[in-house]
Amino acid sequence: MLLPSLLRTVVPIVAGWVIVALTHLGFSLDNGTAQAAVTLAAAGAYYVVFRLVEWTAEKSNGPVWLKSAAGLLLGYARPPWYKSADDVAELVRQSRR
């Protein structure tokens, strides 16, 4: 379940930047735009690196401290957990509560 957490973090960041960039109609790369792009790239890379460390430590039964440290550097010590989407009808019922 690593891919959903990566996508749910990186895709919105990139999409937000694209939307903001496109609203200016005349796309120009000034210092502010370049700084924003670099910031977004750094934030995405930071997340991906520490999420991969956390995921790898979890899957390979690595040191608990490594998993915890990576999680804390992401802001929360426990990795995201997603319920299986095999039973779509049950997921729809739960979303309506």
| Beta strand segments in 1-97, E | none
Number of domains present in the structure of the chain: 1
| pLDDT tens, residue by residue, 46-94 | 888 888 998 899 899 989 999 889 888 888 777 767 666 667 777 677 7
- pLDDT for 85 equals 64
Please determine, for residue 26, whether its predicted confidence score (pLDDT) is greater than 80: no
Which residue segment(s) compose the domain that 62 sits in? 2-95
- Pairwise CA distance, residues 53 & 41, whole Å: 18
- pTM for the predicted model, two decimal places: 0.61
